[in-house]
Amino acid sequence: MNRITHALIALALLLSPFVSAKSDKPNFVVFLVDDMGWGDVGAYDSVYHETPHIDQLAAEGMKFNQAYAACAVCSPSRAAILTGQYPARTNLTDWIPGHKSPKGKLKVPDWTMYMEHERITLAEALQEAGYRTQFIGKWHLLPVPYPEEWENHYPDKHGFDSNIGGREWGQPKGPGKYFFPFGMPNLEGKEGDYLTDALTDAAVDFIEQADKDDPFLLYFSYYTVHGPIIAKPDLEEKYARKKESNASDKTESSQAAGYAAMVQSLDESVGRVVAALEKQGIDENTVVLFTSDNGGVYSRGNNGSFRDGKATPYEGGIREPLIIKWPGVAKAGSESGQLVIHTDFYPTFLDIAGIPLKPQEHRDGLSLVPVLKQEGDLDRDALFWHYPHYHKANPYSAVRKGNLKLIHYFEDNSYELYDLASDPTESTDLASKRSRDVRSLRQVLQRWREEVDAQMMSPNPDYVEGAPWRRPRG
């Protein structure tokens, strides 16, 4: 070796903390559940559901008590996690393909049903930094069937090396729905196999085969606990028995036992994935995040004491369970009351991995690293939602600033104001009593809509008074 080579080696050693080997970066496992409510797991209040493995994640990580979905329905939240941008900014504002409302009072804007390729997704950012990226489960970021002239927007075109099970559909595709045959890409099975278990087999295989030199992102996007409610019979029987001995409002629902059984299958899946990490000896170098895309369906999901559920602007529609386990850094069993939202995951992961942030991409997210390290609060003024669509509620925007939440309903240009500190169940509308707060939050909301160039609704020339806004199914 000559002197120059020696010098180069010395320089490389000196710089090594800054150009660290790829294997120094932690792995990421994302458990993204579908339609799970704030209170659906034991760690967040459920007494009927049994979720020991998810509860264990909470005991080993940080549990967030004021975490929000970027939208109260599926697709916009999914895109917001991957882009770090509000649905209103990307115009991907409804579940795909969305309800048609040809006779509604307001015309739904021409919104976007896929993620634009020019955006760099979280998966692409990690891929660029040497990560192996695996997508498993529900994608739901393209309509079915999608127009021929559109490009492919499947997971493998948005930063994932490999895709198991993800296409346009928003719920299990196969004729057996949650049972084989699954009819999904790259997912094998046999008679009697349960979808959640089959996807878990794929996740475990991925972990067992992972090259220890390359860090990975395992993005496990469950179809469960979205309907249809189809559970493993033995588990459903177990919860049917438990229901009789432990009746509560929600357990009176005819679907309660099946739903609880689906939650248990989810929990077992989380347990198997975590066990696979431990078996490979990589659990201490793996950050695990558990959350859901939107609130529980009101009639069956457990949204705690929060008002209403999926698709609505009330807390039941948007407040989410969120657990982040960052071994050795986030204090085991800690809790945070910081206001956080789906768009935060993107900068958080880059920050944890020591990858330079991409502020032009994750424009609406903040790194949660200071919170996870318990070193400081987030520098965040407000959170926003924008839903120019008809669903369970009339079209709306909403803003949360401090403890106040303002909801703007577009049809009649009305406002509701709630103080979530004194009234977490949103039982008392304060709009008529606190007009100053309404005025000030209206301005904050209006400014934000302008900043993100939110698509607004317009009067519908085909409006038929009294006609159902939603086109009947079939």
Q: Please work out the total of residues on this chain that contact Ca ion, with binding judged by CB under 5 A.
A: 5
**Cα(97)–Cα(113) distance, integer angstroms:** 7
Residue type, 306: F
With contact defined as beta carbons under 8 Å apart, do 459 and 107 qualify? yes
CB 449 within 8 A of CB 456: yes
By the rule CB under 5 A, 120 interacts with Ca ion: no
Among 294, 367, 394, 397, binds Ca ion (CB under 5 A): 294
φ/ψ of 418, rounded to 5, equals -130, 145
Nearest-approach distance from CB 95 to Ca ion, in angstroms: 7
Strand partners, 162: 134
Q: Which is closer to Ca ion, CB of 74 or CB of 324?
A: 74
Closest by Cα among 86, 144, 124 to 382? 86
- Give the number of C-alpha atoms closer than 13 A to the C-alpha of residue 79, restricted to the C-beta side: 30
Residue burial 239-249, b: 16+ Cβ < 10 Å; e: rest = beebbeeeeee
74 is a catalytic site residue: yes
Stretch that binds Ca ion, among 37-45, 113-121, 292-300, 339-347 (CB under 5 A): 292-300
Quick check: 193 binds Ca ion (CB under 5 A)?
A: no
The answer to the question of residue 308 lying near Ca ion (CB under 5 A) is: no
Burial (CB < 10 A; 0-12, 13-18, 19+), residue 141, is buried
Residue listed under structure tokens 């009294």 = 466
Candidates 49, 71, 74, 391; catalytic one: 74
Q: How far is the CB of 184 from Ca ion (least distance, A)?
A: 17
Evaluate whether 442 touches 408 at the Cβ level (below 8 Å): yes
Q: How far is the CB of 171 from Ca ion (least distance, A)?
A: 9
Task: Mark residues 380-409: x for contact with Ca ion by CB under 5 A, - for none.
Answer: ------------------------------
Minimum CB distance to Ca ion smaller for 132 or for 300: 300
φ and ψ of 185, to 5 deg: -65, 135
- Reply yes or no: is the peptide bond before residue 185 cis, omega within 30 of 0: no
Work out how close the CB of 139 gets to Ca ion at its nearest, in angstroms, rounded to a whole number: 12
Answer yes or no: 71 catalytic: no
291 interacts with Ca ion by CB under 5 A: no
Phi, psi of 163 (to 5 degrees): -130, 125
What residues from 133 to 152 belong to the interface with Ca ion (CB under 5 A)? none
Which of these is catalytic: 49, 53, 99, 140?
140
Find the shortest distance in angstroms from Cβ 69 to Ca ion: 9
Contacting range for Ca ion; rule: CB under 5 A; set: 73-81, 99-107, 249-257, 373-381: 73-81
Q: Crossing angle, helix 256-279 and helix 233-245, to 10 degrees? A: 120
* Cβ burial, residue 91 (10 Å; 0-12/13-18/19+): buried
What is the contact mask toward Ca ion in residues 16 to 35, using x (rule: CB under 5 A)?
Answer: ------------------xx
| Least gap, CB of 170 to Ca ion (angstroms) | 7
Nearer to Ca ion, 74 or 350 (CB): 74
| Binding residue (CB under 5 A) for Ca ion from 168, 283, 293, 320 | 293
94 binds Ca ion (CB under 5 A): no
- Note the helical H segments in 225-320: 233-245, 256-279, 315-318
Using the minimum distance from each CB to Ca ion, give the nearer residue, 74 or 353: 74
Amino acid symbol at 130: G
Identify which of residues 26 and 295 has a Cβ nearer to Ca ion in the complex.
295
Q: Is 348 in the site for Ca ion (CB under 5 A)?
A: no
Q: x/- site string to Ca ion, residues 251 to 290, per CB under 5 A?
A: ----------------------------------------
Alpha-carbon Rg for the chain in angstroms: 23
Alpha-carbon gap, residue 215 to 48, rounded angstroms: 37
Q: Which span (258-266, 291-299, 320-328, 333-341) binds Ca ion, by CB under 5 A?
A: 291-299
Q: Could you tell me the smallest distance in angstroms from the CB atom of residue 294 to Ca ion?
A: 5
**Which chain residues interact with Ca ion by CB under 5 A?**
34-35, 74, 293-294
Question: Would you name the residues annotated as active-site residues?
Answer: 74, 140
